Amino acid sequence: MAEFRNIGVLTSGGDAPGMNATVRAVTRAALAQGVQVYGIYEGYQGLMDDLPADPVTHFPGSLIKLDAYAVTNIINHGATILKSARAVDFKTEEGMQKAIATCKRHNIDGIIAIGGDGTFRGATDLTNRGIPCIGLPGTIDNDITATDESIGFDTAMNTCVSLIDKLRDTCESHARCNVVEVMGRNAGYVALETGIAVGASGIMVCECPYSEEEIFENIINAKKQGKRSFVVVIAEGVKFAKEDAGIKNYCEDFAKRLEAATGVETKFCRPAHILRGGDPTLRDRLLASRMGYEAVRLLLEGKSKLVVCEQKGDIVSVDINYALILDRMYKNKLKPGDLDAFTAEQQAEMRAFCEVKKKEFDEMYNVSKVIGAYPEA
Ligand code: F6P
């Protein structure tokens, strides 16, 4: 086993419920092995800045020594006690060198980084410069292809379902429709799964073809058969794609078109960052705990540049570069040369993995359409 004096743990990028549970698991698992833990405040930014504590502003310092008690009673809370930031300077060599100097100053021999793909790129760069890192997927978007679920996704979906259920109540009273745009960046998982769970009459995601007309027809047919309340869920990625094509306010304007086409009064709602807050669900606490434990085990075993994933219920680890390229493959964003580092066998394995994942998504979308539909009576 490699010798570790201290390890660092940080949360980076968009926060996600369950990040605290992950910090707790990492801290307790490391302490159990006699390794001390530094919580790094504000992600990679804190690692670069290494600022001292300031009792006047209550700033705790960029590096906080975490003992077992420091992470007590945080498993049940949203947000991240370590705070988060999107550290732009960390992408520069200068920023990277500052981070490495901080690690050297504090005898930090390895880092566990919780976040999304940007966080993993940072972890790779640090590992390449001699600080071994392990990544943990913490994002509500569930857009890390290599893992079936990311930490925060389940909570975000439950929050979304509970919000839309409330909208449903008032829609039912007033015979209205609500068009709801939900976060997820370019991935449609939050929209699709919550859309199914709230019984949406229409779901729009970038991954599958959708038709406004079909949604209007569905609502018209359902209204004829007595249905009073309607919900349509749109992934924010659809809006981003429209913006790229020069179309602004797509979701708001869709709500107006829906009202005109169906005669159903329609409201628009964007819960936005509300989905990022709140106490984590059991599923997220469990995932965070299992993944945090595994990350420490791998790091202390001398492994690095891995991202811990959940695949078919098992906690596994995947090479970070493999995971990042798999992501690009799944999202049809491969760049020339991306696959050069992989053998023909690995490439075939990646393609097969993406095909299965896409098939599962398509099947789920198909289910949503069939059970959300009111065929003509
Ligand atoms: O990646 C998480 C996420 O909440 C996305 O769903 C969303 O598009 C983005 O972050 C919002 O970013 P910010 O918090 O920087 O506004």
The DSSP result for 177-225, as a single string, is EEEEEE--TT--HHHHHHHHHTT-SEEE-TTS---HHHHHHHHHHHHHT
CATH, domain range 6-152+280-323: 3.40.50.450
Locate 42 and state its tokens. Answer: 């504000």
Alpha carbon distance 40, 22 (integer Å): 14
353-362 LR contacts (CB < 8 Å, sep 24+):
353/145, 353/146, 353/326, 354/145, 354/326, 354/329, 354/330, 357/145, 357/330, 358/207, 358/330, 361/188, 361/189, 361/192, 361/207, 361/208, 362/207, 362/208
Mutation pick for ligand 1 pocket among 150, 155, 183 (CB with most ligand atoms within 8 Å): 183
Give CA separation, 56 vs 61, 82, 160, in Å: 12, 19, 38
Same fold, 6-152+280-323 and 153-277+360-372: yes
**Catalytic residue positions, numbered:** 141
- Give nearest CA residue, ligand 1 atom 11: 14
- Ligand 1 pocket by Cβ (under 6 Å): 14, 116, 139-141, 183-185, 236, 276
Distance 369 CA to ligand 1 centre (A): 27
The per-residue pLDDT string of the chain (377 residues; one tens digit each, 9 = 90 and over) reads 568 999 999 999 999 999 999 999 999 999 999 999 999 999 999 999 999 999 999 999 999 999 999 999 999 999 999 999 889 899 999 999 999 999 999 999 999 999 999 999 999 999 999 999 999 999 999 999 999 999 999 999 999 999 999 999 999 999 999 999 999 999 999 999 999 999 999 999 999 999 999 999 999 999 999 999 999 999 999 999 999 999 999 999 999 999 999 999 999 999 999 999 999 999 999 999 999 999 999 999 999 999 999 999 999 999 999 999 999 999 999 999 999 999 999 999 999 999 999 999 999 999 999 999 999 88
pTM over 0.95? The answer is: yes
Residue 32 Cα to ligand 1 middle (Å): 34
- Ligand 1: nearest atom to the Cα of 276: 4
- Are 214 and 374 spatial neighbours (Cβ–Cβ below 8 Å)? no
> Would you say 19 and 140 are in contact if contact means Cβ atoms under 8 Å apart?
no
Distance CA 1, CA 34 (A): 13
CA 194–ligand 1 middle distance (angstroms): 18
- Expressed in angstroms and rounded, the spacing between residue 57 Cα and the centre of ligand 1 is 27
Structure tokens given for 186:
């370019």
Domain ranges, ordered by start, for the chain = 6-152+280-323, 153-277+360-372
Place of tokens 């790229």: 244
Residue with tokens 């964007």: 270
Query: Are the C-beta atoms of 16 and 276 separated by less than 8 Å?
Result: yes
CATH number of 153-277+360-372: 3.40.50.460
Q: Which atom of ligand 1 is nearest to the CA of 16?
A: 2
Q: What is the pLDDT of residue 86?
A: 84
How many angstroms is it from 299 CA to the middle of ligand 1? 29
Pocket test for ligand 1, best of 160, 185, 186, 236 (most atoms within 8 A of CB): 185
What number does the ligand 1 atom closest to the CA of 190 have? Answer: 6
* Residue owning the nearest CA to atom 5 of ligand 1: 185
* Pocket-testing residue among 159, 273, 275, 327, ligand 1, by greatest number of atoms within 8 A of Cβ: 273
For the chain, where are the alpha helices, taking DSSP H only? 19-32, 43-49, 93-105, 117-128, 153-174, 189-197, 212-224, 236-244, 250-262, 282-300, 320-330, 344-371
Other C-beta atoms lying within 10 Å of the C-beta of residue 363? 10
